[in-house]
Amino acid sequence: MSNNKSTIDFGFSEVPLDEKVKRVKGVFDSVAGNYDIMNDVMSMGVHRIWKRQTIDLSGVRPGHKVLDLAGGTGDLTKAFAKRVGKTGQVVLADINESMVRVGRDRLINEGISGNVDYSITNAEALAFPDNTFDLCTIAFGLRNVTNKDKALEELYRVLKPGGQLMILEFSKVTNPAFAKLYDFYSFNILPKMGKVIADDEASYQYLAESIRMHPDQETLKQMMLNAGFDKAEYINMTQGIVALHRGWKY
């Protein structure tokens, strides 16, 4: 983010603050129908393993209330719905109506209903009361938020005391040699694959750039502590391509 408070990064570009939300919406309106394919392309198929590790570490139990923010097509919501059971609740939330619609339709088609609700809401002003959820997750969504500090404060607010936030997000690769290969893939191959698969090179270019502009592991950990979390830590996955940050509210 630039020092000029009136602008913010959109990939490698600088745009007015109020413009980023519109542009991100445009990206996800464009990719919504191919979102699962997009995740496969961006992660070389490994996103399913990263999500499974997140679910396994969540500690979700029957009766829990879970917020799956930036829930996409519902991978995490589906798994959590099975774990919370009939007495629990999962809310799939996203600022983008197209994404919520795709996720809802997919989950209903797969027979996931009864304990899942849907919400179109902004991460910076969550439409939920204080102390509502046992667990909040945001997977591959925080980097698209304009004011990440505000979003972290909101996630802290809606967590119950004893609750946990889990942020699964592309991060900073820890191995320099591997980082060069990953950069080549991200900026030379990924956008071209986006053009072939979804006829949308520009959106995939933005997604690659947005990863590089996202705070690194230690910076995000400190941001969580600054937002009020009493404890924060992270786990690198696949040499730091992705990091799972966890924060607790005591």
> Can you say which residues are annotated as belonging to the binding site for S-adenosyl-L-methionine?
73, 94, 122-123
Tokens 């797969």 belong to residue:
110
User: Which CA distances in Å does 33 have to 90, 102, 106, 224?
Assistant: 23, 7, 11, 32
3 state DSSP class of 196: helix
Residues contributing to the annotated binding site: 73, 94, 122-123
Return the structure tokens found at 180.
């060069």
Return the structure tokens found at 155.
């996630």
Question: 10 Å Cβ neighbour count for 26?
Answer: 14
Q: Are 131 and 158 in contact (CB under 8 A)?
A: yes
Q: Are 75 and 107 in contact (CB under 8 A)?
A: no
